[in-house]
C-alpha cells in the first residue's frame, strides 16, 4: 500500500493512503500527481503540496468566487489567475450576469490533466462561450494586458515555485491597475496558523497598493492547520461591509445552488480571530453595524 505525505511544512503534515495512483509526471513547471483516496476522492498534488480534492474543494471555490462577485453586484469581466483544475471557472461561470471570463494559467498540462482526471472540477465550464483560457504567467499577463476586470481571483499555488510571482507587490500593483473602478481582488493566502509570515507579507504588500484591504476565512480540511485566509483588496471600502439584505437579494437572484456559501457565512467570514488580526497588523475587524 502506498502513502502520500505532504511536504509543505518541515515538521508537520498530512498523510493520505493512495488507493489508486492515476498520474504522476513532471510538467515542465511542476511535479504533478493525481491519485484516488477513499476519504477525499481524487486528489491533485503539485510539487508535493495538496492543491484540491474532490471531497472538500467546494468550500474553497465557492468562497473565492461568490464572495467577491456577489459583493460587487455587477461583475461583468472576471479574471482567474491560476486555477488549472477548472473548479474556480465552474463557480464563476454559474453567475449568468458575468459576460466575459479570462483564465490565465501558466501550466497547460495542469489544465489538460485535470480535465482528464478531475472532470468534476470543471464540470464542462471550459466549453462555456464566455470563457477564454490563456497560457501565460499571471504577472506577465497583468503587466501587459489592456483589459480591465471587475473581479480578479488569484487561485494560485503557494508562494513557492511559479506561484511566488502571484504574491509579489508587483502582482498586486498590476491587479490594481487592471481593475475597473469599484473592482476587487481576492487571493488564496494560505493557512493563517501555519503560514503567518506569508500572511503578514501579503498584508503589507496589499496595504501598500489598495485603499481597503482585509482577509476573510474558511476552514478547508485538506489545507491543514486551521482556517485558510483569502486576501481582499479594493479601493471601494463599502464592498466589504455590504449588508445582508442586498447580498440575500443578489444570491437569490443568481439562482446558484451552493453547499458552503450563504450570505450570513459571507459576512461572518470577514470576522478574524485576534491572532490573525495581530499577524496582519490590525487591532480589530473594522466591521460596521
Ligand atoms: N486551490 C489551490 C490551492 O489552494 O493551493 C490552487 C489550485 S490551482 C491548481 C493553482 C494553479 O496556479 C496551478 O494550476 C498552477 O499551475 C497555477 N500557477 C502557479 N503559478 C502561476 C503563475 N505565475 N501564473 C499563472 N498560474 C500559475
What digits encode the pLDDT tens for the residues 179-223?
999 999 999 999 999 999 999 999 999 999 999 999 999 999 999
CATH superfamily of 2-52: Spermidine synthase, tetramerisation domain (2.30.140.10)
Closest atom of ligand 1 to CA, residue 29: 16
The domain segmentation of the chain, as residue ranges, is 2-52, 57-279
pLDDT of 1 above 90: no
From the candidates 47, 137, 155, 158, give the one annotated as an active-site residue: 155
Confirm whether 155 is a catalytic residue: yes
Q: pLDDT above 90 covers what percent of the chain?
A: 98
Mean pLDDT (the chain) is: 97
| Cα distance between the two ends of the chain | 54
pLDDT of 238 above 50: yes
The CATH number assigned to the domain with range 57-279 reads 3.40.50.150
- State residue 287's pLDDT score: 73
Q: Best substitution site from 57, 157, 186 to test ligand 1's pocket, by max atoms within 8 Å of Cβ? A: 157
CB-CB contact of 98 with 132 (8 Å):
no
Q: How many CB atoms lie under 10 A from the CB of residue 257? A: 7
The dihedral of CA 251, 255, 256, 260: what is its sign?
positive
Q: Which residues contact 26 (CB under 8 A, 6 or more apart)?
A: 32
Write down how long the chain is. 289
User: Ligand 1, atom 14: nearest CA belongs to which residue?
Assistant: 84
Q: Does the global pTM surpass 0.95?
A: yes
Amino acid at each position: 500500500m502506498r502513502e502520500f505525505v505532504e511536504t509543505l511544512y518541515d515538521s508537520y503534515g498530512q498523510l493520505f493512503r493512495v488507493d489508486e495512483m492515476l498520474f504522476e509526471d513532471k510538467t515542465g513547471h511542476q511535479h504533478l500527481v493525481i491519485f484516488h483516496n477513499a476519504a477525499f476522492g481524487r486528489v491533485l498534488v503539485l510539487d508535493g503540496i495538496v492543491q484540491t480534492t474532490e471531497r472538500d474543494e467546494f468550500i474553497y471555490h465557492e468562497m473565492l468566487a461568490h464572495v467577491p462577485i456577489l459583493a460587487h453586484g455587477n461583475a461583468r469581466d472576471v479574471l482567474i489567475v491560476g486555477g488549472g483544475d477548472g473548479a474556480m471557472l465552474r463557480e464563476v461561470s454559474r453567475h449568468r450576469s458575468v459576460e466575459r471570463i479570462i483564465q490565465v494559467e501558466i501550466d497547460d498540462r495542469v489544465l489538460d490533466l485535470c480535465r482528464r482526471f478531475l472532470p468534476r472540477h470543471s464540470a464542462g465550464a471550459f466549453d462555456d462561450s464566455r470563457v477564454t483560457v490563456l497560457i501565460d504567467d499571471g504577472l506577465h499577463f497583468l503587466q501587459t494586458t489592456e483589459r480591465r476586470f471587475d473581479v480578479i481571483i488569484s487561485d494560485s499555488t503557494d508562494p513557492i515555485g511559479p506561484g511566488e510571482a502571484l504574491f509579489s507587490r508587483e502582482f498586486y500593483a498590476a491587479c490594481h491597475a487592471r481593475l475597473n473602478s469599484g473592482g476587487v481582488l481576492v487571493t488564496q493566502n494560505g493557512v493563517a496558523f501555519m503560514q503567518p509570515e506569508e500572511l503578514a507579507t501579503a498584508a503589507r504588500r496589499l496595504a501598500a497598493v489598495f485603499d481597503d484591504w482585509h482577509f476573510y476565512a474558511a476552514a478547508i480540511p485538506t489545507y491543514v492547520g486551521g482556517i485558510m485566509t483569502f486576501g481582499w483588496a479594493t479601493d471601494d471600502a463599502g464592498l466589504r461591509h455590504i449588508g445582508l439584505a442586498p447580498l440575500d437579494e443578489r444570491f437569490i437572484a443568481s439562482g446558484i445552488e451552493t453547499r458552503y456559501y450563504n450570505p450570513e457565512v459571507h459576512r461572518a467570514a470577514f470576522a478574524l480571530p485576534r491572532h490573525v488580526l495581530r499577524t496582519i497588523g490590525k487591532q480589530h475587524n473594522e466591521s460596521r453595524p
